[in-house]
Amino acid sequence: MTLTEQAAIERDKQDPLKDYKSEFYLKEGTVYLNGNSLGLLSKRAEKTLLTSVNDWKEQGIDGWMNGEEPWFYFSEKLGRKTAPLIGAKPEEVIVTGSITVNIHQLVSSFYKPEGTRTKILADAITFPSDIYALKSMLTLKGYEPGNHLVQAGDPKGNLLDEDSLIEAMTEDVALILLPSVLYRSGQVLDMKRLTEEAHRRGIIIGFDLAHSIGALPHDLHDWGVDFAMWCNYKYMNNGPGGTGGLFVHENHFGTEPGLAGWFGSDKDKQFDMAHEFTPAPDAGAFQIGTPHVLSSAPLLGSLDMFEEAGIEAVRKKSLALTTYFMELAEEKLSGLGFTIINPREEQRRGGHICLQHTHSASICKALKASDIIPDFRAPDMIRLAPVAFYTGFHDVWRTVDTLASIVKNEEYKDYTNKRNVIA
């Protein structure tokens, strides 16, 4: 495959998803490669947000039942529309909470230590908030996290060996929480295999889908995954702090929520105001408080695009973009100090490219000065996410060409090699 600039332009012309780029608010001349941290606003997401704002404006409290998009059933509707992206039944998904709140909810619901089976298994390189939540849950249950939280893998590494994760599934483990895609390296874990191995040992297993939902297909129901949670502000483009989501396999319907709240009630009984909790019969039971309507509404517009395009087509383009990025990097960045950290195999690679470099922080600042928006992770990682909906092949070509120029011309030396407050 030719790697010329003109060839990249031609590939963009043939891209079946190319028209979606114009639906996003992207400054002209800017390449946005930080969608693995915060996705861009689309015109459809803006429209559905404004619909809910207008329902509030025109209807006041009647927006709960009489709005153009009634708020009382909004979380359930969004859950049904999300379900195909993760291979779930509609009733197994609810849009609610934040990712960390949902970790607390689901772990408190499914972590049931008994006898010698008291430990929680996680990995050593997962996102910190997951570990904070797990340690908190252990403490609340009366267990010392230092003794009861097992973290598999090398804490200084970037990839996980699934065999070592399985070896850590010992008879004293009660629950497992792992990422579907590692936030640093973009490695995809074999969720089907890990679930089968956990269940073979009688262990409940859940996954944090923060870096996979909206980027690649899942089959959570058929794999038998017990529970999952995610944020919707990355590849799902729901906006900063946008409402998250959770999945509970139908096998666990009827499980008492660890953190009960009135919006987890059966809808027909919620306003009876009884002090006896009657949970919803499905994943809706794991809601806690009143839905964050204005932080959920943009997701409706975003999901419309996923329904149109299909997650398989999104994944196909994402893989093409990241493959192209690596091919260009091997040609243009050779000898310039970059190391590609993410897996090369398509089935093991998520939606972002991960480059390691001694001067990563200053290189990221130089990229931003060139209107290319990257993501830095300490101590030396550059994450670049060519999101299928709004990134083209020429965007990738320009990015790699700019990276080469920044290092060759030592432009990075104009910036401190230290992260900003928000990296």
Both structure tokens of 175: 């629950």
If DSSP codes are grouped into helix, strand and coil, which group holds residue 376? strand
Name which of 293, 276, 244 is nearest 65 in CA terms: 293
- Pair 265, 280: CB distance under 8 Å: yes
- The answer to whether the annotation marks 96 as part of a ligand binding site is no
293/228 Cα distance (integer angstroms) = 22
- The answer to whether the annotation marks 131 as part of a ligand binding site is no
- The answer to whether the annotation marks 262 as part of a ligand binding site is yes
DSSP result, 292-315 = -HHHHHHHHHHHHHHHHH-HHHHH
Phi, psi of 193, deg, nearest 5: -65, -45
Other CB atoms within a 10 A radius of the CB of residue 202 amount to 11
- The answer to whether the annotation marks 394 as part of a ligand binding site is no
- The answer to whether the annotation marks 211 as part of a ligand binding site is yes
330/325 Cα distance (integer angstroms) = 9
- The answer to whether the annotation marks 130 as part of a ligand binding site is yes
- The answer to whether the annotation marks 233 as part of a ligand binding site is yes
Residue located via tokens 């609610």: 96
- The answer to whether the annotation marks 190 as part of a ligand binding site is no
Both structure tokens of 312: 């398989």
- Pair 302, 388: CB distance under 8 Å: no
Phi, psi of 280, deg, nearest 5: -60, 155
Beta strands in 167-298 (DSSP E): 173-179, 204-208, 227-230, 245-248
- The answer to whether the annotation marks 82 as part of a ligand binding site is no
- The answer to whether the annotation marks 127 as part of a ligand binding site is yes
- The answer to whether the annotation marks 282 as part of a ligand binding site is no
Tell me the binding residues: 99-100, 127-130, 208, 211, 233, 262, 290
Tell me the binding residues for pyridoxal 5'-phosphate: 99-100, 127-130, 208, 211, 233, 262, 290
